[in-house]
Amino acid sequence: MKNDALRKNQSAYYVSSHLTGVFSIKDMSEDPLKKGSIGAGLCLKKGVQTVVVLKREKKAHFTRSAKNDPIILEQVKIFFDNRQVPLPSAASTLEALKLFAELESLQPYEIEIYHRFDVPMGAGYSTSAAGAIGVVFALNDLLSLELSRETLFQLAHKADLFSGGGLGSVLGLYEGGMVLRTKAGAPGVGTTKQMVNDFPPDSQLYIISFGSISTKKVLSDPVRRAQIIMKGDELLKTLFKDARLSQFFSVSEEFTRYVGLTTPKIVVLLERLWREEIPAAMNMFGESIFAMATTPQEKNLVERLGFKPISISFNTVQRIDTVF
């Protein structure tokens, strides 16, 4: 979409990204609102911008079977960075659309959804969760439903869960900031608290990314799941008792070493940072690293290695007035 003011049939939202450093799977409940993960992560001031466009369909071609459905998929188009993608490629967005349509029929509309990504997809930044949140917030505006923030986040949580995109990112984004997810589930069910930033005031968070790792593939491996649960539970007990940001980096580093998902590029960079005693760990899940540099020398090193500075986001969902 070109940069322009929004029209009446359009709504747009910016949603922060979120990275997880350590977690444990808690998905045995039959209730999707109680499924998820406990863990710890950071919300970031780069994320996903989403525009939803509703065009009332005037063609009288609804079939009898379609009349019983709240949405007609043939009338849905989804775009990533202005490129139309097959619907299965946008699983969490499509799930969010279907779940919303159970509340309010979207059948009369042609629907266009545009996502612009300021962080890499599939690289451990919860873009699936951010996209789903943007969709439900925009639809709530366009249909004047006045659903609560908690209800909208619960829809996004289920969409991310059903699509296999994530387990706890939506709860993290609901809280914002430096988040401990202390009880699994959707907002309103799961619980959170903030970590305390004990790094010096002039410290700087950095990120770097090289590629994607499939969350669904990792979480479907029973051996890997067992490893994550055992080590995640152990490390999170420590972090919940000592909720400092420096402790988060420490347990995330240990979790990174234990889980063993690092690629050669990630190993080389992490070993370089750890030799210099720079706190750093791998995003869960993505071929990405987050690091905290304090001194000018540390900042110079991580920047020379290709890292980019980024800030923590506490206001994770914002309505925007222009399209991209």
Segments of the chain assigned to CATH 3.30.230.10? 4-193+313-323
Which pLDDT value is given to residue 165? Answer: 86
> What pLDDT sits at residue 60?
47
Q: In whole angstroms, what is the distance from residue 92 CA to residue 156 CA?
A: 8
The full 3-state SS of the chain, as one line of letters, equals: CCCEECCCCEEEEEEEEEEEEEEEEECCCCCCCCCEEEEEEEEEEEEEEEEEEEEECCCCCCCHHHHCCCCCHHHEEEEECCEEECHHHHHHHHHHHHHHHHHCCCCCEEEEEEEEECCCCCCCCCHHHHHHHHHHHHHHHHCCCCCCHHHHHHHHHHHHHHHCCCCCHHHHHHHCCEEEEEECCCECCEEEEECECCCCCCCEEEEEEEECCCHHHHHCCHHHHHHHHHHHHHHHHHHHHCCEHHHHHHHHHHHHHHHCCCCHHHHHHHHHHHHCCCCEEECCCCEEEEEEECCHHHHHHHHHCCCEEECECCCCEEEECEEC
Q: Which CATH class is domain 196-310?
A: alpha beta
CA distance 135 to 115: 9
* In the chain, ranges of CATH 3.30.70.890 domains: 196-310
Tens-digit pLDDT profile for the chain (324 aa)?
Answer: 665 667 889 999 999 999 999 999 999 999 999 999 999 999 999 999 999 999 987 654 444 344 567 788 889 999 999 999 999 999 999 999 999 999 998 989 999 999 999 999 999 999 999 999 999 999 999 999 999 999 999 999 999 999 988 899 999 999 999 999 999 999 999 999 999 999 999 999 999 999 888 877 787 888 889 999 999 999 999 999 999 999 999 999 999 999 988 999 999 999 999 999 999 999 998 999 999 999 999 999 999 999 999 999 999 999 999 776
Q: Are 138 and 25 in contact (CB under 8 A)?
A: no
Please name the residue that has the structure tokens 């987050």. 290
pLDDT of residue 61: 47
Instruction: Check if the beta carbon of residue 269 is closer than 8 Å to that of residue 305.
Output: yes
CB contact at 8 A, 43 and 16: yes
pLDDT at 2: 62
pLDDT attached to residue 4: 66
Distance, CA of 254 to CA of 256 (rounded, Å): 5
Report the pLDDT value the prediction gives residue 63, as an integer from 0 to 100: 44
CATH for the stretch 4-193+313-323: 3.30.230.10
Q: How many CA atoms lie within 13 A of 156 on its CB side?
A: 33
Reported pTM:
0.94
pLDDT of residue 15: 98
